[in-house]
Amino acid sequence: MIFNRKEKFGWLLKEIEMIAARKSGRDEKLEDICQLLTTHVPYYDWVGFYIVDQVVKNELYLGPFVGEPTEHKRIQFGHGICGQAAERKKTFIIQDVTKEKNYLACSSKVLAEIVVPIFKGEKVVGELDIDSHQFSPFGSEDEQFLEAACDELSKIF
């Protein structure tokens, strides 16, 4: 079956908006979004959220995720792809993690990664992290979709 990104991402964004509008707690919503994305996008193999610690300065902790467990439960700003995205306040797309020096490996199966910050005003409050078991899986459609999703999620932080 052909994977039509434009169509699928349009539908997924509406689903994410509906999940965000529910009455449940933040982490329950984030967990449902991880489940939704891993189920419906064949090359999203690990989907999770890192949350900015409000007490320990410049540190992220692992929030809800779907996929293999990771040893990286806390990440300092600047460390790995997640830490760099938080520090530089921008989306990072790594199409081949084997070529990346500042990268924290979770599993040898992971070949590519995209990390999208979630903002509250100017501040990064969390991020969406997606690992893929394929090389170069992410296109500009993924970036636009995930940034729109994170804009929506800003409301629940």
* Residues found near ligand SME in the complex (CB under 6 A): 46, 48, 70, 72, 75, 80-83, 103-104, 106, 113, 129, 131
* Comparison of 23 and 101: residue with beta carbon closer to ligand SME: 101
**Which of 83, 75, 133, 135 has the alpha carbon at shortest distance from 108?**
133
CB atoms under 10 Å from CB of 135, counted, come to 11
Rounded CA separation 12/145 (Å): 9
**Which of 66, 98, 99, 106 has the alpha carbon at shortest distance from 82?**
106
* Comparison of 131 and 142: residue with beta carbon closer to ligand SME: 131
Q: How far is the CB of 150 from ligand SME (least distance, A)?
A: 16
* Comparison of 17 and 143: residue with beta carbon closer to ligand SME: 143
Rounded CA separation 124/57 (Å): 12
Q: How far is the CB of 10 from ligand SME (least distance, A)?
A: 27
Residue with tokens 């296109």: 139
Q: How far is the CB of 102 from ligand SME (least distance, A)?
A: 7
Q: How far is the CB of 19 from ligand SME (least distance, A)?
A: 21
Instruction: Give φ, ψ of 64 to 5 degrees.
Output: -60, 145
Residue with tokens 């409000």: 54
* Comparison of 83 and 126: residue with beta carbon closer to ligand SME: 83
In 3-state terms, what secondary structure has residue 90? coil
Residue whose CB is nearest to ligand SME in the complex, by number:
80
Q: How far is the CB of 83 from ligand SME (least distance, A)?
A: 6
